Amino acid sequence: MPSRRLTRAGLAGLVATATVLPLAGCGVLGIGGSNADLQIYSARHYDLEGAFKEFTDETGVTVEFISGSDAELLQRIKAEGKDGEADVFMTVDAGNLWNAAEQGVLRPVDSAALTQAVPEDLRDSGNQWFGLAMRARTTMYNPDKVKPADFDPTDTYAGLADPKWKGRLCMRDATSAYTQSLVASLIGLEGREQTLATVKGWVANGVDIKSNDVELLKAIDAGTCDVGITNHYYLARELKKKPDMKVKPFWASQSGAGTHVNISGAGVVKTSNNPAKAQQLIEWLATKGQSSFVDGNHEYPVNPSVKPEPLIADFGEFKRMPISAEAYGSENAEAVKLLSEAGYK
């Protein structure tokens, strides 16, 4: 990859410049300058500054984070080896967290606080990573055209293959990580044969592919589509701008396995020079800092004792599908293959 000088922007008016290991598409933000106590390598890009600044204000531990794609950051950590600067690896999607552990870049953490704060299926069985924020990918509908009783309450995702939804369905494309994770989770839950039949049913219904979740929600609002599948927080964002938007969530499969969810999370890098402080940061994000970490993007806290912010709380409570990070990670390639086989674009 070409060499690139990355800017290091400090909060509260602190701005500096630093040269770092070449990495395409990467940005650096510091809270405490270039001599920060912790280096966070983050593939998560949702309002990190506020939470990290609050952590620094409370603890005195300064942080600096480098942002990039999951693959780029993992490559960088492995390339830096034992001389690497990364203390915490943070990413989106349970499959990516599972993959980081499989690649041996994380270290186990012995933390009673994290064990208590993070439900068992939202953390690694070997305590190498921990979920910190949760998103639900569920059914969205136009209430002028669809009634909740129209959905299959047991298997809502498969129910969208019913011919009654022909010409009424919008979804994301096959290259979307959201689509791939949903299909991977269905493979792990229902098996390949059933999942293939479901996806073929979506295709047979003439699914209208949208480039992003916001476009999809706007199509439902406009009546171009009657129903679709998106992450819940995109609806929250749009409702904040347009409260009268004609879109409502229907919590999928509440009489069955529950609604598909995924997580963002973090782990302590094996070569960290500050593992105790890195663990302190992750513990804070899962406990005192949960709301600061998740509320800005309208995500759900993983910690059951922390309430969701008011806008998404109005969506109502729901039963979630248990997460299998191994299935999300190991079945992703199979999900891509299945989507192609079904003719899903």
Listed in sequence order, the DSSP H helices in the chain are 48-59, 70-80, 94-102, 112-117, 156-159, 177-190, 192-204, 213-222, 232-241, 275-286, 290-294, 310-313, 325-330, 332-341
Q: Which range is least confidently modeled, 22-31, 40-49, 248-257, 269-278? A: 22-31
Q: Are residues 284 and 337 in the same domain?
A: no
With 50 as the cut, is the pLDDT of residue 7 above it? no
The pLDDT, as a whole number, for residue 34 is: 59
Q: Are residues 139 and 275 in the same domain?
A: no
Q: Are residues 91 and 204 in the same domain?
A: no
Report, as an integer, the average pLDDT of 127-147: 98
Domain count, the chain: 2
197-211: per-residue pLDDT in tens? 999 999 999 999 999
The pLDDT, as a whole number, for residue 14 is: 26
Q: Are residues 255 and 267 in the same domain?
A: no
CATH number at residue 205: 3.40.190.10
237-293: per-residue pLDDT in tens? 999 999 999 999 999 999 999 999 999 999 999 999 999 999 999 999 999 999 999
Position 184 in a domain: yes
For 114, the domain range is 38-134+262-308
Q: Are residues 94 and 187 in the same domain?
A: no
The pLDDT, as a whole number, for residue 46 is: 76
The pLDDT, as a whole number, for residue 48 is: 79
Rounded to an integer, what distance in angstroms lies between the CA atom of residue 96 and that of residue 90?
A: 10
Q: Are residues 126 and 158 in the same domain?
A: no
Q: Are residues 128 and 218 in the same domain?
A: no
The pLDDT, as a whole number, for residue 6 is: 27
Rounded to an integer, what distance in angstroms lies between the CA atom of residue 306 and that of residue 102?
A: 30
Q: Is 189 exposed, middle or buried (0-12, 13-18, 19+ CB in 10 A)?
A: buried
Q: Which residue ranges are tagged as binding site for Fe cation?
A: 45, 233-234
68-107: per-residue pLDDT in tens? 999 999 999 999 999 999 999 999 999 999 999 999 999 9
Pairwise pLDDT comparison (195 vs 28), residue with the higher score = 195
